Amino acid sequence: MKTIAFFDTKPYDKEQFIKFGDAANIKFKFLEAKLCADSVELAKGCDGVCAFVNDTVDASVIDSLFSMNIRVLAMRCAGYNNVDLAHAGGKLQVFHVPAYSPHAVAEHAMAMLLTSIRRIHKAYIRTRDFNFSLNGMTGFELHGKTVGVIGTGRIGKAFIDICRGFGMKILAYDKYPSSDLDVEYVSLERLFRESDIVSFHCPLTPESYHMLNSQTVDMLKTGAVIINTSRGALIDAEALLDGIRSRKIGATCLDVYEEESEIFFEDFSGHIPSDETLATLLFMPNVIVTSHQAFLTKEALASIAKTTVDNLSRFFDNQPLQNEVTLK
């Protein structure tokens, strides 16, 4: 039996991890704390660590894990920008879940877009208050509009398929364009200039950091809708806010936020907001924020647990490894 320290546990994580873990002789020690230099000691005595998007796996955490004889980190997510891979080399083998359900995220992106442009979030509140007025509820149609998709990997492709179903024109940008995808690839500048809707589906890297910034906001069509279900720091939140204030940006749908790590997944209702930029964004009538929930479907949770347990089993059983991430 191997024991894995499972950081940043939420109630919805447990069922599937217990189910797949039991079948593979892996026991999870569920911890509420996020993984960071202050909490890493909680992993003492465990054989490995399982972490999530807002845990901090920096050099000091990696060194601490190494000193505890822990050699495996299973990320239960696709992105791993919060792991210092350069430092992990030779100390910690890192695994991730590359594709649990691209449809979960792509469908959430479309759900946010439709909610925003058809004012469903406002209608929900109005009708519950017996307010059946339609003033201020005029939306626009997606049919015939141009959507710019940044990143045409698994999620970007699923999103493109959905957009095609709505009769939209697709423009795509990818640093490594896919040869088997029937889509018009254009420069990032052309995508920003010609798209009615821009949706981010690329990973966060030094290159993609603040891809939407004050210069690129200027390139946007007036009234453009921005969707980010990828990683918060792809967008400079201050530049986004300026774009909303100047009416350049017509609406914004965020499932991720640059400074989300101390805020998202937790209940701060009743607290005075500590992040003024987020508070101002939430105050805007044309901004919708969800709390990094695009992945959260029954199908995706089962798939994440199954792949994570499989990644760990292969490591412990010396079987051919899958889904290992290393510095490219």
Q: Of 112, 256, 278, 289, which lies in the binding site for ligand NAI, with binding defined by CB under 6 A?
A: 256
Residues 258-297 as x/- pattern, contact with ligand NAI by CB under 6 A: ----------------------------------x-xx--
Instruction: Based on the shown chain and the rule CB under 6 A, indicate whether residue 76 belongs to the binding site for ligand NAI.
Output: no
**Other Cβ atoms within 10 Å of 46 Cβ, number:** 22
Residues 112-141 as x/- pattern, contact with ligand NAI by CB under 6 A: ------------------------------
Check if 121 is active-site: no
Compute the chain's Rg from CA coordinates: 21
Both tokens of 120, joined, read 């469903």
Both tokens of 32, joined, read 């509420």
Pick the catalytic residue from 259, 260, 266, 276: 260
Q: Of 203, 259, 286, 313, which lies in the binding site for ligand NAI, with binding defined by CB under 6 A?
A: 203
Contact status, residue 4 vs residue 95, Cβ threshold 8 Å: no
Classify the phi-psi angles of 318: left when phi > 0, otherwise alpha if psi is within -120 to 50, otherwise beta.
Answer: left
The runs of H, that is alpha helices, within 129-275 are 154-165, 188-194, 214-219, 237-245
Q: What is the DSSP letter of 235?
A: B
Q: Of 16, 39, 115, 229, which lies in the binding site for ligand NAI, with binding defined by CB under 6 A?
A: 229
Q: Of 180, 182, 207, 276, which lies in the binding site for ligand NAI, with binding defined by CB under 6 A?
A: 207
Instruction: Based on the shown chain and the rule CB under 6 A, indicate whether residue 304 belongs to the binding site for ligand NAI.
Output: no
Shorter beta-carbon distance to ligand NAI: residue 21 or 156: 156
Q: Of 3, 79, 209, 242, which lies in the binding site for ligand NAI, with binding defined by CB under 6 A?
A: 79
Pick the catalytic residue from 76, 201, 231, 258: 231
Helix (H, G, I), strand (E, B) or coil at 61: helix
Shorter beta-carbon distance to ligand NAI: residue 75 or 155: 155
Check if 119 is active-site: no
Contact status, residue 286 vs residue 57, Cβ threshold 8 Å: no
Shorter beta-carbon distance to ligand NAI: residue 34 or 154: 154
Instruction: Based on the shown chain and the rule CB under 6 A, indicate whether residue 153 belongs to the binding site for ligand NAI.
Output: yes
Cα 291 to the chain's mean position, in Å? 9
Instruction: Based on the shown chain and the rule CB under 6 A, indicate whether residue 87 belongs to the binding site for ligand NAI.
Output: no
Instruction: Based on the shown chain and the rule CB under 6 A, indicate whether residue 233 belongs to the binding site for ligand NAI.
Output: no
Helix (H, G, I), strand (E, B) or coil at 257: coil
Instruction: Based on the shown chain and the rule CB under 6 A, indicate whether residue 201 belongs to the binding site for ligand NAI.
Output: yes
Angstrom distances, CA of residue 264 to CA of 8, 244, 259? 12, 22, 9
Ranked by CB distance to ligand NAI, the top (closest) residue is: 153
Nearest alpha-carbon partner for 66 in 48, 39, 53: 48
Angstrom distances, CA of residue 11 to CA of 8, 35, 227, 265? 10, 17, 28, 11
Shorter beta-carbon distance to ligand NAI: residue 175 or 247: 175
Classify the phi-psi angles of 206: left when phi > 0, otherwise alpha if psi is within -120 to 50, otherwise beta.
Answer: alpha
**CB neighbour list of residue 29: distance below 8 Å, 6 or more residues apart:** 3, 4, 5, 6, 46
Instruction: Based on the shown chain and the rule CB under 6 A, indicate whether residue 156 belongs to the binding site for ligand NAI.
Output: yes
Greatest distance between any 2 Cα atoms in the chain: 64
Check if 231 is active-site: yes
Instruction: Based on the shown chain and the rule CB under 6 A, indicate whether residue 232 belongs to the binding site for ligand NAI.
Output: no
Binding site for ligand NAI (CB under 6 A): 78-79, 99, 102, 105, 150-156, 173-176, 201-203, 205, 207-208, 229-231, 255-256, 292, 294-295
Return the active site residues: 231, 260, 292
